[in-house]
Amino acid sequence: MIVDTLPPDIDICQYMRVTATPIAVLEPTSPVACFAPVGDGGLSDAEAAATADLFKALADPARVRILNVLATQTDAVCGCDLEAPLGLSQPTVSFHLKKLHDAGVLDREKRGVWVYYSLNAEAVRRLSGVLAFGKGRR
CATH of the domain at 71: 1.10.10.10
Give residue 24's pLDDT: 36
> What percent of the chain is predicted at pLDDT more than 70?
64
Q: How confident is the model at residue 43 (pLDDT cuts 50, 70, 90)?
A: confident
Q: Residues with Cβ < 8 Å from 124, sequence gap 6 or more?
A: none
Query: How far is 47 from 130, CA to CA, in rounded Å?
Result: 11
> Which residues, 6 or more positions from 134, have their beta carbon under 8 angstroms from its beta carbon?
39, 40, 41
pLDDT of 88 above 90: yes
Q: Within a domain: residue 85?
A: yes
Please list, in sequence order, all residues whose beta carbon lies within 8 angstroms of the beta carbon of residue 1, skipping any fewer than 6 positions away. none
Give residue 88's domain range. Answer: 31-130
Is the pTM higher than 0.75? The answer reads: no
CA proximity to 80, closest of 125, 115, 32: 115
User: How many domains does the chain divide into?
Assistant: 1
Asked whether residue 122 is assigned to any structural domain, the reply reads yes
Q: How many Å apart are CA 107 and CA 92, to the nearest integer?
A: 18
pLDDT: which is higher, 84 or 1: 84
Q: In this structure, is residue 97 part of a structural domain?
A: yes
Tell me what the mean pLDDT of segment 38-46 comes to.
Answer: 74
Ranking 27-36, 59-68, 82-91, 109-118 by mean pLDDT, the lowest is 27-36
- Residue 134 three-state SS: coil
